[in-house]
């Protein structure tokens, strides 16, 4: 008899282990040149997402850039997403231009962040919607109509892509932690943003053109290979917005399987099977299933079966063959189950067992319905399995 206790293993998203810590006073940023990047020259739509934790708040006129592809001094503006203090009020700001040599659109949506707090932030826009929408923690905090801004597309320039700063002279540095930066070439919906924000992605998601997990690595996890360069000593921090998902609840699975055939002849007295007994814990509910393979050489063979649970248990197990079927409770015996001569058949078992206050066994018993010298055999490979629910 083989008795195995184990657990179900669920596929889970990998753990988020780190974020990057950017110091504004040290002019720190991450970057990739235009010539080395693929997919970050967005055209008709964008979504930029990141987790951020501010270590200070911008003062009036200051901007803390999250992600940008903009070089204003070279008339090479494309897009930029940042937190700024505009006129004494904090804003979540998106800049987009269609012409490169001027700013077609700057949208500012009010936000009141706190320092030392993780926020998921996102900006979406498309040429078809002509709407900038800002999201905090998966919920919209406002929209802005861009239809009057002469926007027809996003300029395709040669600016570097940067996380934590913008401009050729590298200004508007971020101050705080950034994690899970994602750039998409579509306008994502609120439900899509909310569904994905608190777990890592694979990098193969449709329309994802840049994805930096920032887990002790500056590599891009999309096939575009937009790996970043560290500028001025950016460090990794184990402080991050979410970690490994909690493990699924442990689910006990018990299985018993016959290693060899077992035969009985000339008897209608129920006997406990040598192998097919499950040891169940107290005060549990189990789904029980299995297959009993039966064979006989007599001309008109048959078998009867029964399941016996420990005192106080409730047994409700169905059985079925290609000709017979029924339901057994504890200690009840099946009617005659007809077998074909010289041809093994499976008896499928499926149902539940609710155990009582004490642990004990669920035993499978069987016998000939009509005594015959020709043996009835339970074949090796028959099994019973119980899964706790």
Beta bridge partners of 171: 166
Q: How many domains does the chain have?
A: 2
Write down the mean pLDDT value for the chain. 91
Strands (E), 232-359: 235-237, 252-257, 262-264, 271-280, 285-296, 302-308, 314-320, 325-328, 337-338, 345-354
- Whether residues 306 and 226 fall in one domain: no
Question: Quick check: is 350 in a domain?
Answer: yes
| Residue 14 is assigned to a structural domain of this protein | no
Residue 133: predicted pLDDT: 98
Interacting residues of 39 by C-beta distance below 8 A, sequence separation 6+: 183, 185, 209, 210, 222, 224, 226
Residue 317 lies inside a defined structural domain of this protein: yes
Domain assignment of residue 329, yes or no = yes
Instruction: Give the end of a domain, one of 169, 204, 237.
Output: 237
pLDDT for 262: 96
CATH code for the domain in which residue 315 is found: 2.60.120.660
Same-domain pairing of 353 and 382: yes
Please report whether residue 270 resides in a domain.
yes
Residues 207 and 335 in one domain: no
Per-residue pLDDT tens for 155-198?
999 999 999 999 866 789 999 999 999 999 999 999 999 999 99
Among 241, 293, 243, 221, smallest CA distance to 263 is for: 293
pLDDT-derived band at 1, boundaries 50, 70, 90: very low
| Residue 116 sits in the same domain as residue 260 | no
Nearest to 287 by CA among 259, 253, 312: 253
Tokens 């999201």 sit at which residue? 135
11 domain residue, yes or no: no
Report yes or no on 4 lying in a domain: no
Do residues 172 and 264 share a domain?
no
Percentage of residues of the chain with pLDDT beyond 70: 93
Residues 316 and 352 in one domain: yes
224 and 257 fall within a common domain: no
Q: What's the CA gap between 288 and 331, in Å, rounded? A: 16
Boundary residue ending a domain (211, 237, 263): 237
Burial bucket for residue 269 (CB in 10 Å: 0-12, 13-18, 19+)? exposed
Same domain, 297 and 190: no
CB 376 within 8 A of CB 263: yes
pLDDT, one tens digit per residue, over 107-152 is: 999 999 999 999 999 999 999 999 999 999 999 999 999 998 989 9
My answer on whether 307 and 281 are in the same domain is: yes
| pTM exceeds cut of 0.75 | no
DSSP assignment letter at 195: H
CB atoms within 10 A of CB 79: 27
User: By residue range, what is the domain housing residue 25?
Assistant: 19-237
Q: Under 8 Å CB-to-CB from 63, ≥6 apart: which residues?
A: 82, 83, 84, 93, 172
DSSP 192: H
Q: Stretch 317-341: mean pLDDT, rounded? A: 90
Q: Are residues 203 and 304 in the same domain?
A: no
Answer yes or no: is pLDDT of 290 > 60.
Answer: yes
Same domain, 145 and 281: no
Same domain, 123 and 149: yes
Q: Is the pLDDT of residue 6 over 70?
A: no
The answer to whether 312 touches 357, Cβ cutoff 8 Å, is yes
pLDDT at 246: 62
Sheet order of strands, 360-367 included: 271-280, 360-367, 302-308, 337-338
Q: Of 210, 237, 264, which residue is a domain's last? A: 237
Establish if 294 belongs to a structural domain: yes
CATH of the domain at 155: 2.60.120.200
């Amino acid at each position: 008899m083989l008795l195995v206790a184990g657990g179900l293993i669920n596929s889970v998203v990998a753990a988020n282990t780190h974020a990057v810590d950017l110091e504004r006073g040290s002019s720190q940023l991450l970057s990739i040149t235009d010539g080395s990047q693929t997919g970050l020259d967005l055209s008709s739509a964008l979504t930029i997402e990141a987790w951020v934790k501010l270590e200070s708040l911008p003062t009036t006129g200051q901007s803390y850039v999250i992600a940008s592809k903009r070089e204003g001094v070279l008339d090479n503006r494309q897009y930029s997403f940042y937190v700024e203090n505009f006129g004494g009020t904090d804003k979540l700001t998106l800049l987009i231009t269609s012409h490169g040599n001027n700013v077609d659109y700057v949208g500012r949506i009010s936000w009141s962040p706190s320092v030392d707090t993780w926020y998921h932030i996102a900006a979406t826009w498309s040429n078809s919607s002509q709407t900038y929408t800002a999201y905090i923690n998966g919920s919209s905090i406002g929209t802005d109509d861009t239809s009057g801004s002469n926007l027809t597309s996003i300029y395709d320039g040669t600016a570097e892509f940067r996380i934590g700063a913008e401009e050729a002279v590298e200004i508007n540095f971020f101050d705080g932690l950034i994690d899970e930066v994602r750039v998409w070439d579509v306008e994502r919906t609120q439900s899509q943003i909310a569904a994905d924000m608190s777990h890592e992605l694979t990098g193969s998601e449709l329309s994802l053109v840049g994805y930096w997990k920032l887990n002790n690595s500056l590599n891009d996890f999309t096939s575009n290979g937009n790996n970043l360069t560290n500028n001025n000593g950016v460090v990794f921090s184990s402080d991050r917005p979410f970690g490994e998902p909690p493990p699924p609840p442990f689910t006990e699975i018990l299985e018993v399987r016959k290693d060899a055939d077992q035969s009985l002849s000339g008897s209608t007295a129920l006997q406990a099977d040598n192998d097919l007994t499950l040891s169940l814990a107290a005060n549990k509910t189990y789904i029980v299933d299995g297959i009993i393979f039966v064979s006989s050489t007599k001309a008109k063979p048959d078998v009867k079966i029964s399941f016996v649970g420990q005192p106080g248990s409730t047994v409700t197990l169905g059985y079925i063959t290609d000709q017979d079927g029924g339901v057994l409770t504890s200690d009840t015996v099946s009617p005659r189950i007809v077998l074909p001569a010289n041809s093994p058949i499976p008896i499928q078992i499926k149902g539940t067992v609710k155990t009582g206050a004490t642990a004990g066994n669920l035993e499978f018993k069987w016998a000939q319905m009509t005594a015959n010298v020709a043996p009835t055999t339970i074949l090796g490979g028959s099994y019973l399995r119980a899964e706790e629910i």
